[in-house]
Amino acid sequence: MAFNYDHYMRPGKLPHIWCPGCAHGIVMKAIIRAIDKVGLEKDRTVIVSGIGCASRMPGYVDFNTLHTTHGRSLAFATGVKMADPTLNVICVAGDGDALAIGGNHFIHACRRNIDITMVVFNNNIYGMTGGQFSPTTPHGRFASTTPYGNPDYAFDVVELSMGAGATYVSRGTVYHAVPLEKQVADGITHPGFSVIDALCTCPTTYGRRNKLGSATDMILWFKDNTVGIKAAEKLSPEEREGKILTGVFREVIKPEYCQEYQKIIEMAQGK
Amino acid sequence: MSGKEVFYQGNEACAEGALYAGCRFFGGYPITPSTEVAEFLSHRLPKAGGAFIQMEDEIAAMASIIGASLVGKKSLTATSGPGMSLKLENLGFACLTEIPCVIVNVMRGGPSTGLPTGPGQSDVMQAKWGTHGDHPAIALAPASVQEIFNETVRAFNISERLRTPVILLTDEIIGHMREKIIIPEEGELEIWDRPRPDCPPEKYLPYDTSKGIVPPMADFGSGYRWHVTGLNHDASGFPTNKPSLVQPEEERLLAKVTENIDIIEKYEYFKKDGARVGVVAYGSSARSAKAAVRQAHEEGVPVDFLRPVTLWPYPVKPTVEMAEKVDVIVVPEMNLGQMIDEVQRCIEGRAKVVGVNRVDGDPITPENILEKIREVV
């Protein structure tokens, strides 16, 4: 039986603002299915976002939702989680929001290992403002502010998250919607800071400028150009060349921030 | 006032006042000369079952207190000039989304890094106009350690009742000065909480003002699922750009202040028969001003003295009353002339206004002010 999203959607809030062909809806649906799978209560779940296309997602879904300032979702979410650690807190952010203006909050949330799940809708571009290059736009690619090709080098979200100390780190794509859903579900149940690098597509402001074909072509590109980290082990260096690795890169248990703070409360109260 | 006597510095009194008011969350970032507020609360909040967090930067600290407030915790952050500049982004978010919180700015000298360990009063206009867009501004400027305690409690009360951020403006002098204060018994000072909804969750409209200018606010997690956004929004909380909804929303945010002047405004006005000179001073400069006014009286020069405790909204009425009586108003402040503009604006030429201004890192002395009084008499 097909999954019924209605229970989690706010009536009357669609259509969404995303362009035709945008893959953000695939990530949103994966998040909803993951929430359903894990069994989170709507009343006890908070979804936080910053600014940008991805950050409009909380408006469509029926939870406690907080659409904040550009890049700051994790900082707001940290206050929410610390104030009531029993709440389930999920952040959604675009690549520019999460890693440029929000880069400092991102690495420190990783470092703290606070039990928040961060889903990065990574489409390599600032879509809402019309296609400026972002921290994940590959070197040489075209954007409205890189008319001669991007001189910057991109962040690898997975390596950045692991380097900063996140305890669950994965990468999925909108072509692989089922594994993506599982990663989000595992990120939610993981007791610590989780990052899901959700590779998605922006045909309107990124694909067109870089001649990446139709919206479908862009999604299919992930099929041919990604490889799971386990499968990659069996490939020769030549076969792996140019492939993006997907899967779960880290899943380790480390003391979680709010639990550590609870110990401080008990110590301070002489218990 | 009965209670426990302690010998506190202003920053400690601020932290203690916050706890008294029911503050259970502090998000901060180290900055001189405000750090003692954070240090005190890192020790005391966990004892009270609350939470303290040192965030990665000032912006995050401000964001964290808004997040915590949304879950129902009274929340505080403390900073000084450079940090205040960074907090302004999310201060505007709290204004528009109507999430209560208190921000302490222990003012220091100079623009930029300026004089980190020296006092200043040069953020008073920032407190009014700092964040972008039209927004409500409430700022309290205590002048003693006891008053810091009491005004911190009042800052929380006003913030909660009106669902808007309140700025407590102190400065390096009173922030670090030690005085004996009395911590009142529990219950002695009135504590106000934000209005919360009593309707069934499915009927809840977070910005419904049909029952009053301050709509009830539900805690996240309490069963009322609602949407918070920094975009202009309608009564349901969802974004709108309808001119017919945006204009009244923005006007209501300001009206929350103008229609509640009675609970926000606070000042002391000491009148002297025959005064032809008046002094308007706030914060630590008011201490020097008081001494100068007293000395002038001893020299046989009657002087009126107005001390706004609430700086924003500025107390217009007593200032106009003073201007109608005296020829000259002296405005001492540790900046190059900020509140003097507000005094001039509200008295509309009824009296001459002169400043006494220092930004060299030393306090304005009673002699500085007395000299000006003698000069203008």
Interface confidence (ipTM) of the complex: 0.98
From chain B, the residues in CB contact with A104 under 8 A are: 56-57, 60
For residue B93, which residues of chain A lie inside 8 Å, CB to CB?
A: 68-69
Summary mean pLDDT of chain B: 97
**Nearest CB partner across the interface for A265, out of B49, B57, B75:** B49
Q: How far apart are CA B266 and CA A250, in angstroms?
A: 57
**Could you tell me the CA-to-CA distances from B143 to A230, B174, B280 in Å, in that order?**
66, 7, 13
Give the C-alpha separation, A171 to A248, whole Å. 7
Q: Looking at the predicted structure, is the pLDDT value of residue B54 above 80?
A: yes
CA-based torsion, B318, B323, B324, B325: positive or negative: positive
Residue of B nearest to A47 (CA): B227
Give CA–CA dist A41/A50, Å, rounded: 23
What would the pLDDT profile of B152-210 be if each residue is shown by its tens digit?
999 999 999 999 999 999 999 999 999 999 999 999 999 999 999 999 999 999 999 99
pLDDT below 50 — which residues of chain A?
A: none
**Over residues B240-249, mean pLDDT:** 97
CA dist list (Å): A119 to A41, A76, A158, A197: 19, 15, 12, 6
Q: What is the reported pLDDT for A84?
A: 98
d(CA A84, CA A258): 9
CB contact under 8 A, B223 and A104: no
Smallest Cα distance from A111 to chain B, Å: 10
Instruction: Enumerate chain B positions whose Cβ falls within 8 A of a Cβ in A.
Output: 24-25, 27, 43, 46-47, 49, 51, 53, 55-57, 59-61, 63-73, 75, 89-90, 93, 220-223, 225-231, 238-239
Query: Which tens digit of pLDDT belongs to each residue from B4-48?
Result: 999 999 999 999 999 999 999 999 999 999 999 999 999 999 999
DSSP string, A11-33: TT-PSPSPPTT-SHHHHHHHHHH
pLDDT tens readout for residues A216-257: 999 999 999 999 999 999 999 999 999 999 999 999 999 999
Residue in B with minimal Cα distance to A109: B56
**CB–CB contact B228 A66 (8 Å):** yes
In contact, A249 and A162? CB cutoff 8 Å: yes
Exposure b/e, B170-198, CB count within 10 A at least 16 = b = bbbbbbbbebebebbeeeebeebebbebe
Within 196-235 of A, beta carbons closer than 8 Å to B belong to none
Q: What mean pLDDT comes out for the span B343-359? A: 98
Q: Phi and psi (nearest 5°) for A251?
A: -150, 95
Rounded to an integer, the average pLDDT of B295-313 is 98
* Residue-level pLDDT at B2: 81
A266: three-class secondary structure by DSSP? helix
In degrees, to the nearest 5, what angle opens at C-alpha A227 toward C-alphas A223 and A231? 135
Q: Which residue has the tokens 């949330």?
A: A109
0.95 exceeded by the pTM? yes
Answer whether A69 sits within 8 Å of B90, measured CB to CB. yes
At A101, give phi and psi (nearest 5°): -65, -25
**B317-326 confidence digits (pLDDT tens):** 999 999 999 9
Name the minimum distance, in Å, from the CA of B208 to any CA of chain A.
Answer: 18
- Mean of the pLDDT values across residues B250-279? 98
| pLDDT value for B1 | 64
Q: Show the tokens assigned to B106.
A: 């222990």
- Can you list the domains of chain B with their CATH numbers? 1-264 (3.40.50.970), 268-376 (3.40.50.920)
Q: How is domain A6-268 classified at the architecture level of CATH?
A: 3-Layer(aba) Sandwich (3.40)
Q: Which residues of A touch B239 (CB under 8 A)?
A: 59
Closest Cβ–Cβ partner in B53, B66, B230 for A82 = B53
Contacts 24+ apart (CB under 8 A), B154-158: B154/B266, B155/B21, B155/B102, B156/B18, B156/B21, B156/B22, B156/B23, B156/B74, B156/B76, B156/B100, B156/B102, B156/B191, B156/B192, B157/B21, B157/B190, B157/B191, B157/B192, B157/B263, B158/B192, B158/B263, B158/B264
Give me the residue from B67, B75, B93 closest to A77, CB to CB. B67
Predicted pLDDT at A271:
85
- Dihedral class, residue B188 (left if φ above 0, else alpha if ψ from -120 to 50, else beta): alpha
Q: What's the token pair of residue B52?
A: 């303290």
Q: Do A79 and B46 touch (CB under 8 A)?
A: no
Contact of A269 with chain B, judged by CB distance below 8 Å, is answered with yes
Give the distance from residue B254's alpha carbon to the nearest chain A alpha carbon, in angstroms.
21
Nearest to B170 by CA among B135, B191, B139, B130: B139
